[in-house]
Amino acid sequence: MVEVHLWSGLRSLTGGRQVVEVEAKTTGELLRELVRAHPQLQAPIDAGVSIAIDGRVIASGLTEPIPPGAEIYLMQRLRGG
């Protein structure tokens, strides 16, 4: 199981939980499993999220491997100028 840390604004979509656990080996699986466990997360994920794996920000890739025990944070998708 992977512990996924959400930003606090998402707590209202996960029954108040800011850390949720899912089974995932890649970033794509992680997003899919997040929605399966918490269907209301579909909206923020559709709006665009990035995933930080041990501090490395994966902007959009769905195929990045998630090592066992990695620190995982869901972040809002970054935009630049």
Partner 1 sequence: MALDDRKSDFNFVGTRPDRPDGLDKVTGRAKFGADVSAPGMLHGAILRSPHAHARIVRINTAKAEAHQDVKAVITRADFSDKPEFRPGLEGEFWNVLENVMAGEKALYDGHAVAAVAATSALAARDALKLIEVEYEVLPHVTDVDKAMAPDAPVIREGAADYSVPEGMHPNVVRYHESGHGDVEAGFAEADLIVEDSFVTEATHQGYIEPHACMGSLGADGRGELWCTTQGHWYAQKYCAALVGIETAQLRVTASEIGGGFGGKTTVFIEPVALALSRKANRPVKVVMSRSEVFRATGPTASASMDIKIGMKKDGTITAAEGIFRLQGGAFPGAPGDMTAMCAFAPYNLTNVRQVGYDVMANRPKQAAYRAPGAPMGAFAVESVLDELCNQLGLDPVEVRLKNAAYEGTKANYGPTYPRIGLVETLEAAKAHPHYAAPLKPGQGRGISCGFWFNHGGETSVSLALSEDGSAQVMVGTPDIGGSRASMALMAAEVLGIPYENIRVTIADTATLGYNDVSHGSRVTYASGLATIKAARHAIERLCERAAAKWGIPVDAVKWENGCAVPSGPNAGDFDPMPLADITADMGATGGPISGHFEATPEGAGVSFGTHIVDAEVDPETGKTSIIRYTVIQDAGKAIHPDYVEGQYQGGAVQGIGWALNEEYIYGEDGRLQNSIFLDYRIPVASDLPMIDTVIVEVPNPGHPFGVRGVGETGIVPPLAAIANAVSNAAGVRMRQLPMTPPRILAALKDNG
* # binding residues, partner 1 (CB under 8 A): 28
Q: Binding to partner 1 by residue 71, rule CB under 8 A?
A: yes
Q: Binding to partner 1 by residue 9, rule CB under 8 A?
A: yes
Q: Binding to partner 1 by residue 3, rule CB under 8 A?
A: no
- CA 12 to chain centroid: 15
**Which residues, other chains included, contact 32 with Cβ-Cβ below 8 Å and sequence gap of 6+?**
24
Contact between 51 and 72 (Cβ < 8 Å):
yes
DSSP state of 63: -
User: Residue numbers of the site for partner 1 (CB under 8 A)?
Assistant: 5, 7-9, 12-13, 40, 43-44, 47, 52, 54-61, 64, 71, 73, 75-76, 78-81
